[in-house]
Amino acid sequence: MTEMLSMTKKSSAGQEKPSELADLGAVRLAALRCEYLQDPLGIDICRPRLSWQLRSERYGVRQNAYQIVVTADASAGLVWDSGRVPSDNSTQVEYGGPELLSRQRYCWRVRIWDERDAVSNWSADAFWEMGLLTSADWQALWIEPVQEPARPEPKINMFQNLGMISPQPDSDYSRLNPCLYLRKTFTTQGSVRKARIYATAHGVYRLEINGVRVGSQELAPEVTAYQGFLQYQTYDVGELLTPGANVIGAVLADGWYRGRIGLPGDSCQYGDKLALLLQLEVEYSDGSRQWVNSDHNFKSSSGPLVYSDLFIGERYDVGLELGDWHLPAYDDRTWQPALRADYGYANLAAQYGDPLQVVQEIQPAAILVTPRGETVLDLGQNISGRLRMRVHGPAKTVVTLDHAEMLDSDGNFLQAIRGRNKDQRDVYILKGDGVEVYEPWFTTHGFRYVRISGYPGEPGRDDFSGVVIASGLRDTGSFSCSDERLNRLQENIRWSQRGNFVSIPTDCPQRERAGFTGDAQVFGPTACFNMDVAAFFTRWLRSLRLEQRQDGQVPACVPYWNSYIEMFTPIQGGAHTSAGWGDACIIIPWTLYQVYGDLRVLQENYSSMARWLEYVRQEAEQGIPERLQADLPPEVRERQKYLWNTGFHFGDWLIPSLTGGYWNPFEASNATKEIAASCFYACCTDLMAQIAGLLQKPEDQQQYAALNASIRQAFAAEYLSEDGRLSAHYQGMYVLALKMQVIPEQKRRQVTEQLVALIVENGCRLDTGFVSGPYLLDVLCANGRRDIAYKLLFQTECPSWLYEVERGATTIWETWDAISPDGQISTDSFNHYTFGCVGDWLYRFVAGLDKDQPGYKHILIQPDLAGGLTHAGVSYLSGYGEIISAWKLQEGRLTVRVQIPPNTSASIRLPGADAALVGQQCLPGLLVSQVQDGRTAVLEVGSGAYRFEYPIDPVEVFSQ
Ligand code: BGC
């Protein structure tokens, strides 16, 4: 129990400030965002939320009130003036004016009153622009180029797919379809004031006007649950139009709609034909308007993209190029008029969140000749994306680029991805007239190495670039410390996030690219630290709600492709879900609320969460495990209602001691599913009680809380023995049970001892699976065993985080022993972020930056020195601005640097500090200082930059 021993000072910022620090200037407003984006184009949120940040050199700055003014762009007429609203809220403030109109651009500005009631200047103007809000706004028709319907892939079963039984079928290239080119000529009618394209496709598309690419988004319209949610994109094309004749061009490829996707590598998940919907709206200076819509006047042809499949790769034959098809005078008589299709507009929604784009380019580290004599390019980094190549050679030369994550133990190229249609092979056939640059359009690969075959002449490093493709998420967190291996671990985690936050949170970029719900919830907190993922997850949750089954089940992956339904049905006995996976529908919104203070995400998902929990409740209530089918004492039977101990579950997926890499994945599931499922039942009823409270649903709150209490009781009675041992005696089970509060208070010590004993017996190496991983180190620290937590962190033997790092990993692996200690390279994924969930703990615990209130309104700074590092630091761009916590230990002195953004406050807990001394060091922003446990100074501060320096006795501090 924490004990407050003394109060050394009480002051209120503003009253007792030293005069030289008094008023260093007024508050400025910056970083205006609408729905988390800077000046978004074409949104369809009826009541968008606005955020801003306060900037000031003063200390203890807070917002007392705000005023927002919204004007309509063209007329500058006032749309909404919020007036002075007393509120300290500066993030996610909902627009409260009249109904917003399709196509309209809204400009907005804000000013605030600070804690002294001084009013700031107005911010600079920001804007958002509405897209097409109703079906009636669409004049364009869906069109389909004349095409052969795609032929679906033959069915294979999961074991064949996983390579567990042979043979794994070869890709059948004869089933791949040509990309389709569409064009239409039109004439502009005057001086253009504004021009927008609204477009989407069945498949993926790229647009151009007069041969110039429209926008920079990759693989539009991206991947969502198309049946109910197909995004259209909005492009500002005013600059691309020329007076007189213009040509609009589109290229379509299979994408997720009809390409080979997921582990099963099945095609035609949504349909067998590609289609386009495009509406160009031009507004002229004289106020007149022109529409250029997709219709039967578009003409189509095949061209040089012989095929371009998301997974298999792309083939580009320059010999088939279409010449000047972007010029108005082009003779398109051999092209065929597109056909009208009737898909309607009901599932259309504006793009939400950052689009897929090229986020980085990488120069290769080396070009190797392998023992087998092959030329292999080494990027030096495992990425998700593609390779750009410069090449010069005779016409019709065929260059083949094969992509892989690893070399084998002899240093040879190794293409060993499990599953069908995972070739990752791009083929380019040269034109032969000078230097040619090739970069695929509609495929991406998970790779570090590329085998280059057929390249004319000697390929050099400068002839290639690695092009990283991901959702364009803003980096928000950075971490560094005195141990380079931990820094690399954090980098690897970020790379795995970049490689898998590709429109949806995918499991891996080379094998499945499926939106596994479990993986996403496990990694959620780390993801939020690294990047701004609020809109990204919010969009994916919309797909999740659409994929939720009638009976409330939330599938194991979202979108839930038919091929997965077919694959899971026999394994999961007809169920679509698992504990820890389906629970993502509650845990992810909760994480977003915690990190961004976003209440709307809770509201939007509440009924989906409630339906999921109702499904779980019924499963728990009705199911009695087989082992208990015999006569049961009434109290034992009664408690079964509160245990989710039946049905299929992935359990603590991939516990290394049970699964032997990936060879027996279901061993871990079977051994742990009962306890894991009941723990998640407890966790989610508890979260739901809190969420119901926040959303002012007191009855629900009570019911969930009561259910939670019964689950906890039942759990202890069923699974916990006298000596604190759980019936499934695995590290992860103790972790889950402790974290999810199903262990009675008086038993926590014993249960912790069981966990510690297991870890020690295992040589202080990890033996946790997917769902317990994120809590392991926290649980140890919260139960007094920081020593063991650090032993696990610094462990370098397999399985451990640093084992991977020391083995040269540049991303996080799917299994702890993807490269075994004897150097064998497995067929597992080398880019799976899930086990990277430790990133969050490093930020929070080692560098000591945590949130104490949702959205970081109140911050906790609490450096931990016990790991033996000499420095560690973190910077995090919260919704309020940058937060920094950085500490350094040198020659018996500890320096701690802290930055707290305006409109927030913080508790700073300094180990081994004299409260009076450190209190003096943060005077301008100090509110209260206390000493806790006689050894930790606790300072309550307002915003500002602080630096503390004091002598410290490391021995005393380390032992805390
Ligand atoms: C995926 C995982 C996923 C698991 C359980 C695997 O094939 O790669 O990350 O969570 O299946 O369904």
The amino acid present at 296, given as its one-letter code, is H
Q: Are the CB atoms for 311 and 266 separated by under 8 Å?
A: no
Distances (CA, A) of 314 to 62, 110, 807, 887: 55, 49, 32, 50
Catalytic one among 129, 218, 405, 814?
814
Distances (CA, A) of 385 to 123, 366, 428, 508, 707: 38, 18, 17, 12, 46
CATH superfamily of 24-130: Immunoglobulins (2.60.40.10)
84 burial (CB, 10 Å; 0-12 / 13-18 / 19+) is middle
Cα–Cα distance between 815 and 813 in angstroms, integer?
5
The span from the first CA to the last CA of the chain, in angstroms, equals 14
Q: Is 814 annotated as catalytic?
A: yes
Is 304's C-beta closer than 6 angstroms to any atom of ligand 1?
Answer: no
Q: What is the pTM of this model?
A: 0.96
Cα–Cα distance between 338 and 523 in angstroms, integer?
45
Is 515's C-beta closer than 6 angstroms to any atom of ligand 1?
Answer: no
CATH of domain 359-471: 2.60.120.260
CA torsion through residues 439, 443, 446, 449, sign? negative
Ligand 1 atom nearest the C-alpha of 507 is: 9
* CATH T-level topology, domain 135-353: Jelly Rolls (2.60.120)
Closest CA to 541 of 598, 593, 586: 586
Pocket test for ligand 1, best of 158, 162, 519, 523 (most atoms within 8 A of CB): 519
Ligand 1 atom nearest the C-alpha of 511 is: 8
User: Which residue has tokens 């700074």?
Assistant: 861
Cα–Cα distance between 901 and 62 in angstroms, integer?
9
Q: How many CB atoms sit inside 10 A of residue 455's CB?
A: 22
User: For 840, how many CA atoms within 13 A lie in the half-sphere containing its CB?
Assistant: 23
User: For 165, how many CA atoms within 13 A lie in the half-sphere containing its CB?
Assistant: 5
Is 519's C-beta closer than 6 angstroms to any atom of ligand 1?
Answer: yes
Cα–Cα distance between 424 and 829 in angstroms, integer?
14
The string of pLDDT tens digits covering residues 538-552 is: 999 999 999 999 999
Q: How many CB atoms sit inside 10 A of residue 494's CB?
A: 24
Ligand 1 atom nearest the C-alpha of 512 is: 8
Pocket test for ligand 1, best of 162, 508, 516 (most atoms within 8 A of CB): 516
Is 835's C-beta closer than 6 angstroms to any atom of ligand 1?
Answer: no
Is 778's C-beta closer than 6 angstroms to any atom of ligand 1?
Answer: no
Q: Which residues of 462-486 are buried (b: 16+ CB within 10 A; e: fewer)?
A: ebbbbbbbbbbbeebbbbbbebeeb
Q: What's the CA-to-centroid distance between 913 and ligand 1, angstroms?
A: 47
CATH value of 477-846 in 2.60.130.10, 3.40.50.150, 2.60.40.10, 1.50.10.10: 1.50.10.10
What stretches of 663-762 adopt beta strand conformation (E)? none
Residue with the smallest CA separation from ligand 1 atom 3 is 516
Q: Are the CB atoms for 35 and 352 separated by under 8 Å?
A: yes
Closest CA to 361 of 498, 464, 465, 474: 465
pLDDT of the residue at 17: 38
Please identify every stretch of the chain with a pLDDT value under 50, giving residue numbers as ranges: 1-23
Q: Are the CB atoms for 873 and 912 separated by under 8 Å?
A: no
Is 127's C-beta closer than 6 angstroms to any atom of ligand 1?
Answer: no
CA torsion through residues 783, 785, 788, 789, sign? positive
Is 650's C-beta closer than 6 angstroms to any atom of ligand 1?
Answer: yes
Peptide bond into 86 cis (omega under 30): no
CATH of domain 856-958: 2.60.420.10
For the chain, give every domain's residue range: 24-130, 135-353, 359-471, 477-846, 856-958
Q: Are the CB atoms for 956 and 894 separated by under 8 Å?
A: no
Token representation of residue 245: 């004749």
Cα–Cα distance between 930 and 8 in angstroms, integer?
6
Cα–Cα distance between 147 and 633 in angstroms, integer?
67
The string of pLDDT tens digits covering residues 747-777 is: 999 999 999 999 999 999 999 999 999 999 9
Q: What's the CA-to-centroid distance between 567 and ligand 1, angstroms?
A: 12
SS3 693: helix
Q: Which residues of 317-335 are buried (b: 16+ CB within 10 A; e: fewer)?
A: bbeeebeebbeeebebeeb
Pocket test for ligand 1, best of 508, 517, 564, 653 (most atoms within 8 A of CB): 653
Is 556's C-beta closer than 6 angstroms to any atom of ligand 1?
Answer: yes
Cα–Cα distance between 922 and 16 in angstroms, integer?
12
Catalytic one among 129, 512, 547, 718?
512
Pocket test for ligand 1, best of 263, 422, 507 (most atoms within 8 A of CB): 507
Is 495's C-beta closer than 6 angstroms to any atom of ligand 1?
Answer: no
